[in-house]
Every structure is written in C-alpha cells, then in structure tokens.
Amino acid sequence: EVQLVESGGGLVQPGRSLRLSCAASGFTFDDYAMYWVRQAPGKGLEWVSGISWNSNNIRYADSVKGRFTISRDNAKNSLYLQMNSLRTEDTAFYYCAKDGWELTLKFYFDYWGRGTLVTVSS
C-alpha cells in the first residue's frame, strides 16, 4: 500500500524558514518523480514543485521560485521542501504527491499524503 506522510508544518513568522519532509513507502521510491502541491484553507489546489526520480530535473511554480527548494533522498525514501522567506500567502496545507508515471516528470498525481499545515503569520 502506497503511503506518503508529511511532517514539519507549523506556525512561522513572515520572512522565516521551514523545512517540510515526506516519508514514502509501499512503492519503489526512486522510480518516480515526486511533487509538492498546496491548498490554502478553503481554497483550490496549486502545484508548487516537482523533482525527477534522479533529481536531475526540478521545476517550481513562479510563486515560489527563488524561495523554495525541493530535494529528495532516495536512500531514505524521503522528499523535502525547504521554504525560505515565507510570506503570509504561503499559508496552506502542503501535500506530498507521487507521479502517476514511472521515470518521468508527468505532472499528475496518483497518490497524495494527508498534508501538513503551514501557517505564516506574525
């Protein structure tokens, strides 16, 4: 059974940093691209970032480019999101998601974690 478990969310002041983690199990982690997708409370879904199986191809939404860094550790079956210079508009549930296709960045998401809430507020 595929499981994705996010952690690291919390309350942080504007301008500060936070690092999210996602622990994956139930599939061959290093065969798949992985993503972060966020959802502001009561709002719709927004793709944030994606990383290929071998970390050679990384993409960001314009709204986070230059502030967020995605990474992965295939030996630990883990995905990360380093979030710097946080803004109030970054407040959202952050979901870790798995690509639906093997060995490529296809940008659709066949399994999701339950999410972790990041609140940016003074």
Partner 1 sequence: EIVLTQSPGTLSLSPGERATLSCRASQSVTSSYLAWYQQKPGQAPRLLISSASSRATGIPDRFSGSGSGTDFTLTISRLEPEDFALYYCQQYGSSPPTFGQGTKLEIK
Residue from 1, 62, 66, 122 in contact with partner 1 (CB under 8 A)? 62
Per CB under 8 A, which of residues 73..112 are in contact with partner 1?
95, 100, 106-112
Q: Which region, judged by CB under 8 A, interacts with partner 1, from 9-17, 26-34, 71-79, 113-121?
A: 113-121
Cα–Cα distances (Å) from 13 to 40, 48, 102, 122, in that order, read 17, 20, 38, 5
Q: Are 118 and 9 in contact (CB under 8 A)?
A: yes
**Which two tokens mark 106?**
């296809």
Residues that bind partner 1 (CB under 8 A): 44-47, 59, 61-62, 95, 100, 106-115
